[in-house]
């Protein structure tokens, strides 16, 4: 055993909280039998019905058939989307469409992309490995967003049926770039494909034990933040607890269900990008732009903006005004308002139980003051998206409201990485859809089978 491996073993046996990662033998599509670009997908929760249909058409072996299968009228407790997913996963392995790598490995994943509306090319690198599942109370893995029960129930049913993880948990760690240097590729990639958004994905398999041990040692003192995949992480925790209970209730640190597949990205990377997610409110029983302006004035300074402002102009105003603090653009069919400089102590009860870190977030100001107090949307209706839609593209949000399909659109600046880490490490959370890390990690590049 090497000195690094010996030290790692000692740490694993202590009570010192640490990130425990390990290599695994991933299942991967055989490029000799399928065209990889036709079988991988965006994360399940980013797949619209239109995308689902397109994935179905692209290949009979597209992963969407497993992670987000089509429901049928004849579905029952025995035959359903989950049983079909389990059958397909088993069948594709038996046919050799999915092949397991010969030895335990970690996988370097590179994404080369341009931000929407930008011509500048960026490259973000991370690595895929198994991460030990930790309860949040252990102080190793931190969340930054709340979760909903329905998506977790669906993912848990899929995990029970297939006993495999198909999508990536997007995890953030922090260092000065040492781990990325250890994993600098020295050969041609094993996978090189471009997705439907023009993002180039390259993957290298690293089986060198010395390199793997060095990465394990370097990760031992890292704290991890879930960037994307909160529902899937908590689903994996629930499944782990089920399997523990079935085996007497004790922790089994080497059992496959004690781990989940993760992609680790350095939060200090210059190519780590967070996009804003705008809010569009629709189907209100009554709405008046002037009544909104007057009510909003109780919480913010409100300036009238150019009613015909376009998406690029809105982004420029938000970016410039946002340098001074919270800034929100509210757009109706025929008016536009710039809301800025929240009024201190306007309604202290609005932020009851929330820290100053949380209150400083634009998205919290938007939810608590404007959605809940001014528009009187309940927290439950917001969670259920009864009158609320989330839109990444500012131009799309403007089009929706100006066409009369919505009452009002709220455009915001993106959260900063420092805000995300400060909230997460404090054990606090943001509203749903507070962050949009771009680009997304594809599902199907590697698959982790528990058995």
User: Is it the case that residue 6 has pLDDT exceeding 50?
Assistant: no
Mean pLDDT value across residues 95-117: 97
Phi, psi of 345 (to 5 degrees): 55, 30
Q: Token pair 């949009």 is at which residue?
A: 436
User: Is the distance from CB of 220 to CB of 18 less than 8 angstroms?
Assistant: yes
pLDDT at 147: 83
Separation of alpha carbons 215 and 237, rounded Å: 24
User: Is the distance from CB of 139 to CB of 17 less than 8 angstroms?
Assistant: yes
User: Is it the case that residue 376 has pLDDT exceeding 60?
Assistant: yes
Separation of alpha carbons 387 and 380, rounded Å: 11
Separation of alpha carbons 370 and 409, rounded Å: 11
Mean pLDDT value across residues 30-40: 97
For residue 49, the number of C-alpha atoms closer than 13 Å in the C-beta half-sphere is: 1
Separation of alpha carbons 409 and 390, rounded Å: 10
Separation of alpha carbons 35 and 255, rounded Å: 33
pLDDT at 16: 56
User: Residue 250's CB: how many other CB atoms inside 10 A?
Assistant: 8
Q: pLDDT > 90: what percent of the chain?
A: 88
Mean pLDDT of the chain: 93
Q: Would you state the torsion angle of the CA atoms of residues 307, 308, 309, 311, taken in this order, to the nearest 10 degrees? A: 130
149-162 helix and 81-94 helix, angle to the nearest 10 degrees: 40
Separation of alpha carbons 116 and 278, rounded Å: 15
User: Is it the case that residue 329 has pLDDT exceeding 90?
Assistant: yes
CA-CA distances (angstroms) from residue 423 to 23, 46, 71, 172? 30, 25, 38, 14
pLDDT at 73: 86
User: Is it the case that residue 270 has pLDDT exceeding 60?
Assistant: yes
Mean pLDDT value across residues 72-90: 94
Q: In the chain, what are the domains?
A: 3-273+439-449 (no CATH), 277-413 (3.30.1760)
pLDDT at 87: 97
Instruction: Give per-residue pLDDT as tens, 226-252.
Output: 999 999 999 999 999 999 999 887 777
Mean pLDDT value across residues 72-91: 94
User: What would the two tokens of residue 94 be?
Assistant: 């038996």
Residue 225, burial from CB neighbour count under 10 angstroms (0-12, 13-18, 19+): buried
Give one DSSP letter per residue of 249-306, joined into a string.
S---TTSGGGEEEEEEEETT-TT-EEE--EEEE---SS--HHHHHHHHTTTSEEEEE-
Q: Report the range of poorest mean pLDDT among 161-170, 357-366, 378-387.
A: 378-387
User: Is it the case that residue 3 has pLDDT exceeding 50?
Assistant: no
Mean pLDDT value across residues 138-143: 96
pLDDT at 9: 43
User: Is it the case that residue 253 has pLDDT exceeding 80?
Assistant: no
User: Residue 34's CB: how many other CB atoms inside 10 A?
Assistant: 18
**Residues making up the chain, counted from first to last:** 451
User: What would the two tokens of residue 389 be?
Assistant: 């839609």
User: Is it the case that residue 1 has pLDDT exceeding 80?
Assistant: no
Mean pLDDT value across residues 115-140: 96
Mean pLDDT value across residues 128-156: 93
The pairing of beta strand 436-438 with beta strand 273-275: antiparallel
pLDDT at 12: 41
User: Is the distance from CB of 215 to CB of 127 less than 8 angstroms?
Assistant: yes
Q: Token pair 């990760």 is at which residue?
A: 219
User: Residue 335's CB: how many other CB atoms inside 10 A?
Assistant: 16
User: Is it the case that residue 7 has pLDDT exceeding 70?
Assistant: no
Mean pLDDT value across residues 296-305: 96
Closest by alpha carbon to 81, among 169, 166, 165, 155? 155
pLDDT class of 8 with cuts at 50, 70, 90:
very low
Separation of alpha carbons 433 and 146, rounded Å: 9
Whether cis (ω within 30° of 0) applies to the bond prior to 53 is no
User: Is it the case that residue 192 has pLDDT exceeding 50?
Assistant: yes
pLDDT class of 139 with cuts at 50, 70, 90:
very high
User: Is it the case that residue 123 has pLDDT exceeding 90?
Assistant: yes
Mean pLDDT value across residues 374-399: 94
- Give the predicted TM-score (pTM) of the model: 0.92
């Amino acid at each position: 055993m090497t000195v690094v491996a010996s030290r790692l073993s000692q740490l694993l046996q202590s009570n010192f909280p640490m990130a425990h990662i390990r290599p695994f033998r991933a299942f991967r599509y055989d490029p000799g039998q399928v065209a990889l670009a036709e079988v991988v997908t965006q994360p399940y929760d980013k797949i619209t019905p239109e995308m689902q249909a397109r994935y179905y058409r692209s290949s009979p072996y597209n992963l969407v058939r497993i992670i987000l299968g089509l429901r049928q009228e004849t579905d029952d407790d025995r035959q359903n989307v989950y049983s079909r997913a389990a059958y397909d996963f088993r069948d594709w392995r038996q046919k050799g469409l999915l092949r397991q790598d010969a030895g335990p490995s970690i996988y370097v994943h590179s994404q080369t992309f341009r931000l929407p509306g930008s011509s500048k090319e960026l490259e973000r690198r991370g690595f895929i490995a198994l991460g030990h599942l930790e309860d949040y109370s252990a102080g190793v893995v931190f969340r930054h967003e709340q979760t909903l029960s329905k998506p977790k129930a669906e993912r848990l049913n899929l995990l029970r049926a297939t006993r495999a993880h198909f999508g990536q948990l997007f995890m953030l760690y922090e260092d000065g770039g040492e781990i990325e240097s250890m994993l600098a590729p020295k050969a041609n990639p094993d996978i090189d494909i471009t997705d439907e958004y023009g993002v180039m994905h390259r993957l290298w398999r690293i089986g060198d034990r010395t390199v793997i041990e060095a990465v394990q040692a370097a990760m031992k003192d890292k704290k991890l933040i879930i960037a994307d995949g909160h529902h899937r992480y908590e689903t994996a925790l629930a499944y782990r607890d089920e399997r523990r209970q079935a085996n007497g209730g004790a922790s089994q640190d080497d059992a496959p269900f004690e781990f989940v597949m993760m992609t680790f990205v350095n939060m200090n990377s210059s190519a780590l990008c967070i996009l804003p997610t705008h809010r569009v409110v629709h189907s209100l029983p009554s709405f008046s732009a002037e009544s909104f302006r007057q009510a909003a004035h109780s919480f913010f300074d409100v300036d009238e903006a150019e009613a015909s402002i376009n998406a690029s102009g809105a982004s420029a105003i938000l970016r410039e005004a946002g340098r001074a603090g919270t800034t929100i653009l509210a757009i109706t069919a025929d008016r536009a308002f710039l809301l800025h400089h929240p009024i201190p102590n306007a309604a202290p009860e609005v932020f009851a139980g929330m820290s100053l870190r949380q209150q400083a977030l634009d998205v919290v100001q938007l939810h608590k003051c404007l959605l809940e107090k001014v528009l009187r949307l309940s927290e439950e209706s917001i969670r259920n998206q009864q009158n609320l839609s989330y839109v990444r593209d500012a131009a799309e949000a403007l089009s929706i409201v100006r066409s009369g399909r919505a009452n009002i659109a709220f455009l915001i600046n993106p959260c900063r990485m420092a805000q995300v880490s400060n909230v997460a490490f404090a054990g606090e959370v943001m509203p749903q859809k507070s962050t949009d890390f771009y680009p997304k990690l594809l599902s199907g590049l590697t698959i982790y089978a528990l058995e």
